[in-house]
Amino acid sequence: MNRMFQALGLFALLGCSLAAAPALAQDEDNEVPELRVATLDGPVFDLSAKRGQWVVVNYWATWCSPCLKEMPDLRAFAESRDDVALIGLAYEDISAEEMRAFLREHPAGYPIAIVDVYNPPADFPAPRGLPMTWLIAPEGQVAKRFLGPVTGRDLAQAISAALP
């Protein structure tokens, strides 16, 4: 078994994450990541087209129970705010058909893209644990990164802290 799958197995055994509570990364620099991915529903999600909004980019997997637990709260948070967009990046080796079947049983309610675990998006590299969430500011910079489960309250606090 290769090291990546050993690590993913360890994440699953430990509850998917290396952190029990969301761990905030240090304040970010002026990094402006790019993300352009096809979603399961067909449209391309283009992060640059979301300027003017806060964007939540959430790495997750179907086998990660903390990921599944946070999904309804993330959806409710994004739906409650006109200034927030949300994209789920499924980080696992799964076919589109398998993912669609999973989402029929566990609806996300927001766009989902399957990312290649061997070649993840350059500006959103392979997560150190799952779930892994980036909060992108309206100007496009990374505002915060969270390792571990995150709630709408955590995101609201991070947005409030980032506002002038």
Q: What fold is seen in the domain 3-162? A: Glutaredoxin (3.40.30)
Pairing of strands 112-115, 84-91: parallel
Enumerate the domain spans of the chain. Answer: 3-162
Tokens of 134: 């980036």
What is the pTM (predicted TM-score) of this model? 0.84
Q: Are 122 and 31 in contact (CB under 8 A)?
A: no
pLDDT per residue over 95-154, tens digit each? 999 999 999 999 999 999 999 999 999 999 999 999 999 999 999 999 999 999 999 999
The string of DSSP codes covering 35-93 is: -EEE-TTSPEEEGGGGTTSEEEEEEE-TT-HHHHHHHHHHHHHHHH-TTEEEEEEEESS
DSSP 133: E
